[in-house]
Structure 1
Amino acid sequence: MTSTDVPYVFHPATEPGAPTLLLLHGTGADEHDLLGLGRTLYPGAALLSPRGQVNENGANRWFRRLREGVFDVDDVVARTDDLADFVNAVAAKHELDTRRILAVGFSNGANIAAAALLLHPGLLRGAVLLAAAAPLQDRQPDMVDLSGTSVFLGAGTADPITPIDQAHLLAEQLTERGADVTVTQHPGGHALPPNVVDEARSWLRKV
């Protein structure tokens, strides 16, 4: 399967100079799941929303896991390479400004977006990572240069799926590599509270 054979939805920008939001869904969702969120976060942006290519008991995912909370890190790396190939191919096909692509990911989608930041610096201008974990887990990422990259992290202090210390570890890894990281915590669980969405929307307009 080639990069552009991945099922995806593309909506062109309606606002001149608006970025492209790369929408990366959570486990069990598909390429339509985050379109509404994308429109809420940046109404005039282009939306590029692919489908995760890993099947876990019928649920779409971006990479394999060994069990809840334990990732197959080798597969994370391989699937992130695939995602980078997809983004580059589709950006060329639709003549997108590759300097203006920002990821918006939830849960498993946020994890592979974080992996893209760490493994393919320069692929993304930045990212909104919602309920994200450190994708390489106990493997120390290379000390890549993420200066000029902006990241918004939204995390729940009572999240039973992605513990808050995972968000803190990811923020630390990104900051150590030069990214400008904004962390917003909420008292809830594995969800998208309206106030976090509002803060992410305001943040995106400043990037």
Structure 2
Amino acid sequence: MTNPEASTVALISRNDESRLGTPLLVFLHGYGSNEEDLMGLSRYLPQEFTYLSVRAPLQAGPGFSWFPLSQEIDYSVDAVAQSVKDLWAFLEPIAAQHSSLTLLGFSQGMAMATSLARYQREAVSAVVGLSGFAVEAAELEIFDDAKLKANPLPLFWGRDLADPVITRDKIEFTLGWVPSHTELTSETYPQIAHSVSMEEIHDVDAFLKREVLKLES
């Protein structure tokens, strides 16, 4: 499916009336990847969900990115904000057809997922972040962290403590941000580096069943 106005490209697990009223989970890929990267995870996650995987808007090598990397000359927190607003413009009418909205982001996709929750807390039921981080940009007008403090976000954060990609400053900010803004489920997975393991996906499955589907464990 595509959004002609925004030229947004996305894959959806079911695009007929059977998806209406189902919980929606949106995959947000990492830097340099594309919308096909995470869609395969859906086979290991609860089948009650409809799965939507969105392509980031900026070209990045053979793939795409949500915003420039922080060390790039054209990076700015305003670029992050614009990408978040554009993503919500695409997702809002789709999410309105579903019973809930959950975001799953890998790497830079976790930054987008947590940022969207900081922008539209009431719309987001939970976030899954894999090998990623939250954006250090509290001054952004679109971020309403006060709402998160009043209504903490259920967040699953899985990572390898020795992740070679996510820089220490990003991890330190995220570690400081999550206690007061989220109901955190934190898991670490030695030896996965900057990737995803089946053990981690099984933990994500349990998190989604508990926090979104409200199923007994």
Q: TM-score, normalised by structure 1?
A: 0.83
Paired with 2:131 and 2:36, the residues of 1 have a C-alpha distance of 19
Q: Deviations over 1:34-56 (max 9, x none)?
A: 11112312233101111100112
Paired with 1:154 and 1:122, the residues of 2 have a C-alpha distance of 24
Q: CA deviation at 1:206?
A: 0.2
Note if contact 1:24-1:105 (Cα within 8 Å) is conserved in structure 2: yes
Residue number in structure 1 paired with 2:166: 162
Partner of residue 55 from structure 1, selected from 35, 44, 59: 59
Note if contact 2:84-2:112 (Cα within 8 Å) is conserved in structure 1: yes
Show structure 1 runs of 5+ residues with no match.
none
Sort the Cα spacing of 1:90 and 1:163 in 2 relative to 1 into closer, same or farther, 3 A: same
Residue number in structure 1 paired with 2:190: 187
Note if contact 1:53-1:60 (Cα within 8 Å) is conserved in structure 2: yes
Paired with 1:46 and 1:168, the residues of 2 have a C-alpha distance of 34
Q: Aligned-residue CA RMSD in angstroms?
A: 2.7
How many positions carry a matched residue from both structures? 200
Residue number in structure 1 paired with 2:214: none
Sort the Cα spacing of 1:193 and 1:202 in 2 relative to 1 into closer, same or farther, 3 A: same
Paired with 2:75 and 2:161, the residues of 1 have a C-alpha distance of 21
Give yes or no for the alignment of 1:33 onto 2:40.
no
Paired with 2:65 and 2:109, the residues of 1 have a C-alpha distance of 8
Q: Deviations over 1:73-104 (max 9, x none)?
A: 21111100111111103334xx223xx11011
1:1-207 alignment to 2 at 5 Å?
A: 2-3=5-6, 5-12=7-14, 18-67=22-71, 72-92=76-96, 95-97=97-99, 100-136=100-136, 142-146=144-148, 147=151, 149-163=153-167, 166-167=170-171, 169-177=173-181, 179-188=182-191, 189-207=193-211
Paired with 1:172 and 1:62, the residues of 2 have a C-alpha distance of 23
Paired with 1:148 and 1:40, the residues of 2 have a C-alpha distance of 27
Q: TM-score, normalised by structure 2?
A: 0.80
Show structure 2 runs of 5+ residues with no match.
212-217
Per mean C-alpha deviation after superposition, the further-off stretch among 17-26 and 154-163 is 17-26
Paired with 2:169 and 2:159, the residues of 1 have a C-alpha distance of 10
